[in-house]
Amino acid sequence: MRSTVWLDIVIAVAAMAVLLLLPLVFPGKAFSDFMIRLSAFAIFATSLNLLVGYTGLVSFGHGLFYGLGAYSFALMMQKLGTSIPVAFVATVGVSAVVATVVGAICIRLKEIYFSFLTLAFQMLLHSIIIAWTPLTGGDQGLTGGVPRPPFLGIRLDDPQHLYIFCCAVLVVSLFIMWHLVRSPFGYTMRMIRDNPRRAEFLGVHVWRVRLLAFVVAGVFGSVGGLLMSLFVSSAYPDFAYWTVSGEAVFMILMGGISVFFGPLVGAVMLLLLNDVVTRVTEHYSLMLGIIILCFALGLRKGLLGFVLWAWARRRATAN
């Protein structure tokens, strides 16, 4: 068992090494910008999949934490002048508290009622951001930039350093979430997703596990928003708008809901689509809608889910 943990660490270190070497192959700024956005969205979508794919809680309002993470971090850096590590930890703390309160209310409801209540909380944050102009800058977003003072020799105003930092946060976040879904808690989440009633009759306090999952997902969702605010050196109301949650759902759908790395693959696909399609047509939404429709109708397992399924099937046939 211990050896598998070490194997995971070796894989994570190898993945980090590959990410560090990639700019040598793709030296342009466009690539590093893409990877930073990917880090933010991959963490965000994977955290949502902890709820949707692993616990059976379809949240339409996960963008609440994306927006909260972005604004908490940016405001702490801008108004309080704290160091980046302190603001990082404080953002995680704020998100955990908010997720506990929101989760305690939402998880009492089931299915579509849960989904809509989470969406309502997200739109509540969005409304607060729009209305509280003196603090948040209203619909213009935070103006004046987010200070990025150096810490431990890391200068996040240097694009290279920012790239490395975001990749490191991505790898560490995915590593932690991967271990979480492989832990006894992860299996309890899957039991609840499959059959919450049966889980209760095994002694599981379903709402407690759901709340813990909600908080963990919220915390990682906020880390995604935090990275984005570092990247754009600001925070905008759009970060807390419902479309952000929709994008994460699309990423999960496109990559694969039942595979841990599905949302990561989905994030790559959606961001690539975004970058490519917006260059060739202004009807981005229409194109995206058609592509999502194709996935929903023809590739329900998502791309990675389908590939793994086909591979397993081929192996079974060969045996």
- Please, what is the minimum distance in Å from the beta carbon of residue 195 to other proteins? 5
Specify the stretch interacting with other proteins by CB under 8 A; choose among 152-160, 165-173, 177-185, 302-310. Answer: 177-185
The three-state secondary structure class of 81 is coil
Specify the stretch interacting with other proteins by CB under 8 A; choose among 33-41, 90-98, 136-144, 199-207. Answer: 199-207
* Cα angle 246-247-249, degrees, rounded to a multiple of 5: 65
For the chain, the residue count is 319
Q: Which of 79, 179, 300, 313 binds other proteins (CB under 8 A)?
A: 179
Q: Interface residues for other proteins in 92-151 (CB under 8 A)?
A: none
Q: Which of 110, 198, 300, 313 binds other proteins (CB under 8 A)?
A: 198
Nearer to other proteins, 83 or 258 (CB): 258
Asked if 5 is part of the footprint of other proteins (rule: CB under 8 A), the reply reads yes
Q: Which of 191, 240, 264, 269 binds other proteins (CB under 8 A)?
A: 191
Nearer to other proteins, 198 or 314 (CB): 198
Q: Which of 111, 158, 200, 275 binds other proteins (CB under 8 A)?
A: 200
Q: Which of 194, 289, 294, 296 binds other proteins (CB under 8 A)?
A: 194
Burial class from Cβ neighbours inside 10 Å (0-12, 13-18, 19+) for residue 66 reads buried
Find out whether 91 and 222 touch, Cβ atoms under 8 Å.
Answer: yes
d(CA 42, CA 101): 25
Find out whether 169 and 223 touch, Cβ atoms under 8 Å.
Answer: yes
- Please, what is the minimum distance in Å from the beta carbon of residue 135 to other proteins? 35
- Please, what is the minimum distance in Å from the beta carbon of residue 208 to other proteins? 8
Two structure tokens written together for 122: 């997200």
Question: Amino acid letter at 10?
Answer: V
Nearer to other proteins, 40 or 174 (CB): 174
In the chain, DSSP assigns E strands to none
Question: Amino acid letter at 138?
Answer: G
CB atoms within 10 A of CB 133: 11
- Please, what is the minimum distance in Å from the beta carbon of residue 8 to other proteins? 9
CB atoms within 10 A of CB 261: 17
Nearer to other proteins, 7 or 18 (CB): 7
CB atoms within 10 A of CB 218: 30
Two structure tokens written together for 125: 């944050």
Question: Total residues at the site for other proteins (CB under 8 A)?
Answer: 31
Q: Interface residues for other proteins in 258-317 (CB under 8 A)?
A: 258
Taking alpha carbons only, the member of 105, 129, 104 closest to residue 225 is: 129
Question: Amino acid letter at 93?
Answer: G
Q: Interface residues for other proteins in 13-42 (CB under 8 A)?
A: none
Specify the stretch interacting with other proteins by CB under 8 A; choose among 11-19, 109-117, 201-209, 226-234. Answer: 201-209
Specify the DSSP class assigned to residue 259.
Answer: S
* Cα angle 217-37-76, degrees, rounded to a multiple of 5: 65
Asked if 228 is part of the footprint of other proteins (rule: CB under 8 A), the reply reads no
Asked if 209 is part of the footprint of other proteins (rule: CB under 8 A), the reply reads yes
- Please, what is the minimum distance in Å from the beta carbon of residue 58 to other proteins? 16
CA distance to 25, 173, 192, per residue, from 16 (Å):
15, 12, 33
The three-state secondary structure class of 154 is strand
- Please, what is the minimum distance in Å from the beta carbon of residue 198 to other proteins? 4
Question: Amino acid letter at 251?
Answer: M
> What are the residues binding other proteins (CB under 8 A)?
1, 4-5, 179-180, 182-188, 190-191, 193-195, 197-206, 208-209, 212, 258
